[in-house]
């Protein structure tokens, strides 16, 4: 499984692998927000936690179809199905690779972008923490969505339609942590709930994704 | 028509939109059903004829 | 005579064909009766005025919207476990009905809310859950349309229905949490938890019974269409071979 992980990581970092694209998208979206809502710092600092969460979520979404579609097209997915590792392991590794190449960089970049949006000083810690806890869930859920639509040509839009409603609880809780943190309110409950959601997704999604991949490979 | 008072627009539009949506759904289901039944009957006819001919 | 006998498409077609006219008639009568009674025969609420009449549409639609998804969940499980095609097709058939009911719930909820809340939309947890439910219905239907192989489509949409159900419940709880946060909005209780006087209750029950019959009638009708569509594919394929 480690070999699979390293392979996926190196593939994405290579040219054309899309590694920096999620980050670039995140930056662009955040930069566009003041143009859309006006530069008043009070507005921006109010919406900053939510916008940063939404931007990170959308950036994650965009890189989802790469997880499986490329392997599907060149037949590697069929090979992986016959490999000694269980399909659930493959799905889990794919989700992990997605997180390392997308979720993690977004989490690390978020504070810098928070500066652009006048995020309140107390908010930086909670924003980063909530993204750190929440983005693995986004990767796990996204991998499930990608598995469902892997056989559909030009399935990007369908993937978004399916995955975005599934993202709602994570978005609500994650941005709730970030918002409350920025306002100086108590964040413990929200963070605990977010953590539970992430752990649950990490535990269950590989099974659901593996089932979907197997169906598609038939 | 009962005295709907100041909320007449709201009540009537709520009923209007809902009944339109629901009748649309019923109509669509009925028409699609009829169409499929006709197509299936035709296809089964052609299959039977094809079998008789051969 | 167990329910499983109707998993056989031929038996299902025969039984549903016999039942359909009756259940459709019953649906038409009950819905017409309930709505007419509610619209013409009930007084205004002292607080909400005549908008309380929207209750007779909003509540039954909301109940069907949720229960349609539950029925799809059960039908999906039956498909995944016992591989009865009728079950998978019934789930597919129920989806547009559920979606329409969800839209009716949202529209009537928004219109009802306008005089009460002063805005056409309010991010009340209940109404927002229905918005998310609508999105789940859309995703489910889109997936059915996107997959060519019917059995794979049935399998994938069933898995989506299962996972979606879990997340729909999670969303519901997350939304309650979310609404308590910085937003002090008064969440207007729009269902029977309020003390609903008998005079409003009975027309609502009749309409609800009518909506249930309507749901059953539509699902039976649409499942028959799906079964015929599947048979049509088989017939065309056989004709091509001979």
Give the number of beta-carbon pairs within 8 Å between B and C.
Answer: 98
| Residues of chain C contacting B13 with CB distance shorter than 8 Å | 111
- The pLDDT mean for chain A works out to 90
- The stretches in chain B having pLDDT less than 70 are 1-2, 4, 54
| Closest to C177 in 3D by CA, of A133, A186, A100, A34 | A186
Residue with tokens 């994704």: A209
Residue C188 — very low, low, confident or very high, per pLDDT cuts 50/70/90? very low
DSSP class of residue C45 equals: B
Longest dimension (CA), chain C: 72
- The pLDDT mean for chain C works out to 87
* DSSP, residue by residue, chain B: ----GGGHHHHHHHHHHHHHHHHHHHHHHHHHHHHHHHHHHHHHHHHHHHHHH-
Q: Which residues, in sequence order, are CB contacts of C2 under 8 Å at separation 6+? A: none
pLDDT of C192 reads: 43
Distances in Å between the alpha carbon of A87 and those of A10, A140, A208, C182? 21, 14, 10, 43
Q: Can you tell me the mean pLDDT for A88-93?
A: 91
Residue A16 — very low, low, confident or very high, per pLDDT cuts 50/70/90? low
User: CB–CB of A155 and C146 under 8 A?
Assistant: yes
| Residues of chain C contacting A165 with CB distance shorter than 8 Å | 132, 135-136, 139, 164, 167, 171
d(CA C34, CA C30): 6
ipTM rounded to 2 decimals: 0.89
Whether the per-residue pLDDT at A11 is higher than 90: the answer is no
pLDDT of B27 reads: 97
Higher-confidence position of C190 and A112: A112
Q: Can you tell me the mean pLDDT for C132-136?
A: 95
Best of C88, C170, C172 to mutate (most A CBs within 10 Å, chain A):
C170
pLDDT tens string A111-153: 999 999 999 998 999 999 999 999 999 999 999 999 999 989 8
Q: Can you tell me the mean pLDDT for C18-31?
A: 96
d(CA C14, CA B49): 25
Q: Which of A162-171, A172-181, C50-59, C117-126 has the lowest mean pLDDT?
A: C117-126
pLDDT of C196 reads: 59
pLDDT of C20 reads: 96
Provide the shortest C-alpha distance from residue B46 to chain C (in Å).
Answer: 8
Please check whether residue B50 touches C, CB under 8 A. yes
d(CA B31, CA A172): 42
The token pair at A145 is: 């969505």
Nearest residue in chain B measured CA to CA from C48: B7
Q: Which residues, in sequence order, are CB contacts of C35 under 8 Å at separation 6+? A: B15, C56, C57, C203, C207, C210
d(CA C109, CA C242): 56
Taking a C-beta distance cutoff of 8 angstroms, is the pair A30, A105 a contact?
no
Q: What is the dihedral of CA A128, A139, C73, C62, to 10 degrees?
A: 40
User: CB–CB of C167 and A166 under 8 A?
Assistant: yes
- What is the reported pTM? 0.90
Provide the shortest C-alpha distance from residue C108 to chain B (in Å).
Answer: 5
pLDDT tens string C154-167: 999 999 999 999 99
pLDDT of A71 reads: 84
Q: Which of A137-141, B3-7, C178-182, C231-235 has the lowest mean pLDDT?
A: C178-182
């Amino acid at each position: 499984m480690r070999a699979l992980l390293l392979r996926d990581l190196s593939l994405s970092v290579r040219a054309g692998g899309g590694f920096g694209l999620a980050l670039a998208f995140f930056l662009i979206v955040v930069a566009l927000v003041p143009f859309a809502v006006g530069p008043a710092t009070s507005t921006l600092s109010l919406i900053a936690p939510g916008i940063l969460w939404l931007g990170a979520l959308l950036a994650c979404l965009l890189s989802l179809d790469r997880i499986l579609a490329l392997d599907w097209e060149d037949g590697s997915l069929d090979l992986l199905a016959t490999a000694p590792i269980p399909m659930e392991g493959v799905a889990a590794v794919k989700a992990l690779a997605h997180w390392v190449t997308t979720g993690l960089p977004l989490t690390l970049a978020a504070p810098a972008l928070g500066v652009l949006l006048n995020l309140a000083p107390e908010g930086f810690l909670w924003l980063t923490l909530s993204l750190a806890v929440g983005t693995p869930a986004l990767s796990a859920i996204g991998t499930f969505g990608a598995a469902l639509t892997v056989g559909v040509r030009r399935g990007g839009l369908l993937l978004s339609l399916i995955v975005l409603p599934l993202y709602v609880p994570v978005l609500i809780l994650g941005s709730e942590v970030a918002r409350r943190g920025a306002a100086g309110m108590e964040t413990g409950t929200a963070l605990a709930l977010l953590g539970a959601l992430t752990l649950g997704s990490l535990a269950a999604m590989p099974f659901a994704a593996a089932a979907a991949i197997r169906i598609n490979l038939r | 028509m009962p005295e709907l008072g100041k909320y007449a627009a709201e009540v009537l539009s709520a009923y209007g939109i809902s009944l339109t949506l629901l009748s649309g759904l019923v109509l669509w289901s009925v028409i699609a059903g009829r169409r499929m039944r006709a197509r299936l009957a035709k296809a089964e006819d052609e299959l039977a004829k094809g079998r008789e001919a051969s | 005579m167990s329910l499983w006998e109707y998993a056989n498409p031929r038996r299902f077609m025969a039984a549903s064909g016999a039942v359909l006219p009756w259940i459709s008639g019953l649906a038409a009568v009950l819905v017409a009766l309930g709505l007419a009674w509610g619209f013409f025969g009930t007084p205004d609420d002292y607080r909400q005025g005549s908008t309380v009449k929207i209750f007779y549409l909003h509540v039954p639609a909301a109940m069907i919207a949720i229960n349609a998804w539950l029925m799809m969940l059960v039908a999906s499980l039956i498909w995944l476990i016992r591989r009865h095609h009728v079950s998978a097709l019934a789930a597919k058939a129920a989806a547009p009905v559920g979606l329409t009911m969800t839209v009716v719930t949202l529209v009537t909820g928004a219109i009802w809310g306008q005089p009460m809340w002063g805005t056409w939309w309010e991010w009340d947890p209940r109404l927002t859950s229905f918005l998310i439910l609508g999105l789940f219905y859309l995703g489910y239907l889109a997936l059915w349309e996107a997959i060519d192989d019917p059995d794979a489509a049935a399998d994938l949409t069933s898995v989506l229905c299962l996972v979606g159900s879990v997340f729909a419940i999670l969303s519901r709880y997350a939304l309650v949490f979310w609404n308590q946060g910085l937003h002090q909005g008064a969440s207007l209780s729009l269902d029977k938890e309020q003390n609903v006087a008998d005079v409003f209750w009975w027309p609502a029950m009749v309409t609800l019974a009518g909506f249930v019959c309507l749901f059953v009638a539509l699902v039976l009708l649409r499942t028959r269409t799906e079964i015929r569509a599947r048979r049509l594919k088989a017939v065309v394929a056989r004709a091509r071979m001979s």
